[in-house]
Structure 1
Amino acid sequence: MKNFSMLLIAIFFFSCQQKENKNISVSKSDSAVTKKNTEENTTENKAENKQVGDTIFMNYKDEKDIFIAEGVVDSIHPRVYMKFKIEDRAELKARIVTPSGGGNIRFNQIIFPDKSTDGPFGMDLKIHLKQKGNYIFVISHSLMADNPYWGKFRVELESKKE
């Protein structure tokens, strides 16, 4: 009797663990609409430079040939890393714009492709880039000043070949 009750309990637990299979039928028109919506979403996402976590990837230029991205500095991400690629020697003009027009936020550092660094800078920057490759800007508030900036900002990068 004891063995029989153990067997029933084991069967009960195994039957509760099985997942229910649901057969969902999708017609061809539904899958075509789904594919079309997916393609539209990917083309919309490709046209923007967005912040993902603490990094902004500058991959897309606007019609004026300027990189523009929006970012957020908050207590979770006090530093934002902006990555971009330069193909030739260029003069780079960069600017941080806040909704209030000011604030304790700046380009703290630039990391060159050879891993050397320079900085700190202000909210506006003009620099000659002599190396081709991937550059990284570190954007955050100045540690030498009070009232760190928390909130949204916009970054504009314009590179002109030399």
Structure 2
Amino acid sequence: METSINNPIKKIESSPAMIPSGNGIIRLNIVNGKGDVMIQKKKNQTIHIEFESKGYKNITAQLFSTDSLANIRFSQITLPNKGMDGPFGQNLSYSISSDGIYKLSIHENMMAGNLWGGIMEVKVSLSK
């Protein structure tokens, strides 16, 4: 497992943002190892991005926002066996050993800034 703390905050193109279900879950459709979604996050809301690994062995993910002060990070990864790891930064790189449903949790860093709400983009790539 590797983590990266680089800050990928950048300008995102305007496209409609998804509003997560009441429990904050978004099921990400991975096509050819890639998935991308714009999300409207409320302050103090945890967003859960779920996807299936289907034979892939590595996950990389990035968070983007037009707000340079966006206090968001990947707070946790939940593995198919219900194990967990984290916290991470706005970039995540993780080696996986089994197929199944993975969940990336996104939340503010409670030690590093204020509560944040706004539009963010989440990009997930899976590789073999």
TM-score by length of 2: 0.77
The corresponding residue for 1:73 is 41
**Structure 2 vs 1, CA of residues 136 and 101 (structure 1 numbering), >3 Å: closer, same or farther?**
same
Offset at residue 55 of structure 1 (A): 1.3
Letter in 2 for 1:78: Q
TM alignment of 1:18-57, pairs within 5 A: 50-53=18-21, 54-57=24-27
Give 1 or 2: higher strand fraction.
2
1:97–1:153 Cα contact (<8 Å) kept: yes
Change (3 A) 1:71 1:94: same
1:119 aligns with 2:89: no
AA aligned to 2:72 is I
Bigger Rg, structure 1 or 2: 1
Question: Counterpart of 1:100?
Answer: 67
CA–CA separation in structure 1 for the residues paired with 2:99 and 2:68: 32
User: Which letter maps to 1:160?
Assistant: S
Aligned partner of 2:121 in structure 1 is 154
Q: Higher relative contact order by CA 8 Å / sep ≥ 6: 1 or 2?
A: 2
- Quick one: structure 1 residues 142 and 131, their matched pair in 2 at CA, closer, same or farther if it must change by over 3 Å? same
Q: Structure 2: where are the runs of 5+ without partners?
A: 1-16
Q: Which residue of 1 aligns with 2:50?
A: 83
2: CA distance between counterparts of 1:102 and 1:90?
Answer: 33
Q: Percent identity?
A: 25
Contact 1:50/1:57 (8 A) holds in 2: no
What letter is aligned with 1:57? R
Higher helix share: 1
What residue identity is the alignment partner of 1:79? T
Q: Structure 1 runs of 4+ off > 4 angstroms?
A: none
Residue 111 of structure 2 aligns to a residue whose secondary structure is coil
Aligned AA (2:20): V
Give the match's secondary structure for 2:77: strand
Q: Per the alignment, in what secondary structure is the counterpart of residue 121 of structure 1?
A: coil
Secondary structure of 1:52's counterpart equals coil
